[in-house]
Structure 1
């Protein structure tokens, strides 16, 4: 056998089904100078549910690695953040404070709301948590401004802007965004955002292809931190699944909004093209 090896008649190797995902991780980390990157394989016709859960699981593992190094963790809203919270294991981190990054969203779809998610993950970690005492969508721009000036809401916004690390989802094109799917935004408001150049959203803000805020009557009514606030947070972890989010995620990467990324292979492949 030794002779066969030396003459290359017999060769042994380990077949790595995840070689491509590792290559993508290295490429993305080096190109965008990220703190952390994980790419979830989409081979073997895995369901979107399975892929989303693994994205959440890997993000939760990153949280566990960071927990002893930080004091405050910001929580966004939406499906990606919900999977992340579900996949977070129970461990003791009582020194942490979990902080929602946006206001509440009414009585529907509570499982994706920042306040509910902050409470849920705090319970798992035996941590403290705060509640964002404001609606994410005010009735008018004037009402939004007045709420933001109140001492209670101002303190919520200040705490959200100053977290050590934030875990967020990324929205895709406005027409197919979670805002639209959950009927938080009307067709007319959707059209106005699209006409203003919005290509995606994060937390309580919409942005264009240059990574700048898009302001419309609807966006001016939102209460929560903005894309500009995210840029000042030391570590922002974005979680996303699916190629429709390509333009949004690429814009956030190119404008240094995010520092860590957990995505599926299809999205990662689209990002490197």
Structure 2
């Protein structure tokens, strides 16, 4: 491997953020250069047909490659130069990886009928891996799509907690109201939805509202709680939420984190629960098999929320992600990693 190649994936990803069209141009020129290498000498018309481009597009790409001395164009057709061979060698691991991500993303998007899929490199299930790339990508997608004057509901969990540090103050951020999608999870207060909503607000110089709801309330106590003015105000906010940012958890692991009783864990296992999101448990086919009694975003709300960002990665979570995607609203944007995406393809 030539020197400097190991730094290029980071550089390319940074360039793609700064100039979104750059990657498309790079991929197009790479494809034409690769076809010229494998089929050259080759004329413009057969090259266009093979590459799936118009003759005008092909001529433009060939001129750019010729001007950079990467190909030679003669009467018998185009052929690659030694310099072109070197460039192709350097780019191959980067472009092929990006192609794979794009193909994976398109297949997942088409299979589940959701709005979009973003895949970051790596597998967050591996030892020593983190959620930072997922958090950075989620922050980028959120800030580019949210607009201004919005009510944003966020769930708890380590993946969601990794997002705010990567978030910059987008235009109109101060008009955003962040609210917890539901109560906190487990004993780690830093991973609870109330705290994460507050962290988003602090980062964006925005506002937030908290909702404190004990998960052990009886049905009677829950009914009384719903009549409280604070609960009523939060329910009004849930009905007007413009965005939901949520994670996806493994059903059994989430039950353990919530310190669910043995009876509830057996029920989840018996009903085939695989994934969990905002208090709902889904089986592999996306059917709701159990849900927590709580105040917060309900599955019926998903149809009317314009922007839903589901953030989850790691090969170990693939089946959990699968279970949620079967029930996901069409406006859902999935942000995941290569480990989860590749494993997900084994299930579909």
TM-score band, normalised by the shorter chain? 0.7 to 0.9
Hey, what's the Cα distance between the residues in 2 that align with 1:90 and 1:102? 25
Partner of 1:239: 311
Assess if the C-alpha contact under 8 Å between 2:159 and 2:312 holds in 1: yes
Partner of 1:57: 136
Partner of 2:31: none
Hey, what's the Cα distance between the residues in 2 that align with 1:162 and 1:67? 14
1:214-233 equivalence runs, <5 A: 214-215=289-290, 219-233=291-305
For residue 148 of structure 1, report the CA deviation from its aligned partner.
2.4
Q: CA 1:205/1:37 → structure 2, altered by over 3 Å: closer, same or farther?
A: same
1:143 to 221, 224, 227: 221
Hey, what's the Cα distance between the residues in 1 that align with 2:213 and 2:101? 41
Hey, what's the Cα distance between the residues in 2 that align with 1:158 and 1:204? 19
Give the structure with higher Rg (CA): 2
Partner of 1:127: 206
Are 2:262 and 1:187 aligned?
Answer: yes
Runs of 5+ consecutive residues of structure 1 not aligned to the other structure: none
Hey, what's the Cα distance between the residues in 1 that align with 2:184 and 2:199? 15
Are 2:235 and 1:157 aligned?
Answer: yes
For residue 70 of structure 1, report the CA deviation from its aligned partner.
5.5
Assess if the C-alpha contact under 8 Å between 2:311 and 2:334 holds in 1: yes
Q: CA 1:26/1:271 → structure 2, altered by over 3 Å: closer, same or farther?
A: same
Are 2:251 and 1:251 aligned?
Answer: no
4+ residue runs over 6 A deviation: none
Hey, what's the Cα distance between the residues in 2 that align with 1:76 and 1:154? 19
TM-score, normalization by structure 2? 0.67
Q: CA 1:145/1:194 → structure 2, altered by over 3 Å: closer, same or farther?
A: farther
Assess if the C-alpha contact under 8 Å between 1:38 and 1:262 holds in 2: yes
Assess if the C-alpha contact under 8 Å between 1:98 and 1:128 holds in 2: yes
For residue 7 of structure 1, report the CA deviation from its aligned partner.
4.0
Hey, what's the Cα distance between the residues in 2 that align with 1:244 and 1:223? 29
Hey, what's the Cα distance between the residues in 1 that align with 2:333 and 2:205? 25
Partner of 1:268: 341
Task: After superposition, give the CA deviation of every residue in 1:147-202 in whole Å (9 maximum; x if it has no partner).
Answer: 22333213213312431111100011x3223x41x353233321122223422211
Hey, what's the Cα distance between the residues in 1 that align with 2:212 and 2:125? 39
Hey, what's the Cα distance between the residues in 1 that align with 2:266 and 2:343? 26
For residue 226 of structure 1, report the CA deviation from its aligned partner.
2.8
Hey, what's the Cα distance between the residues in 2 that align with 1:222 and 1:46? 30
Q: Count how many residue pairs are aligned between Structure 1 and Structure 2.
A: 264
Q: Secondary structure at the match of 2:174?
A: coil
For residue 214 of structure 1, report the CA deviation from its aligned partner.
2.5
Hey, what's the Cα distance between the residues in 2 that align with 1:70 and 1:29? 29
Larger CA deviation: 28-37 vs 245-254: 28-37
Q: Secondary structure at the match of 1:221?
A: coil
Runs of 5+ consecutive residues of structure 2 not aligned to the other structure: 1-68
Q: Secondary structure at the match of 2:340?
A: helix
Partner of 1:166: 244
Task: After superposition, give the CA deviation of every residue in 1:189-236 in whole Å (9 maximum; x if it has no partner).
Answer: 211222234222111222233433324xxx453343233333442221
Q: CA 1:151/1:210 → structure 2, altered by over 3 Å: closer, same or farther?
A: farther
Q: CA 1:8/1:91 → structure 2, altered by over 3 Å: closer, same or farther?
A: closer
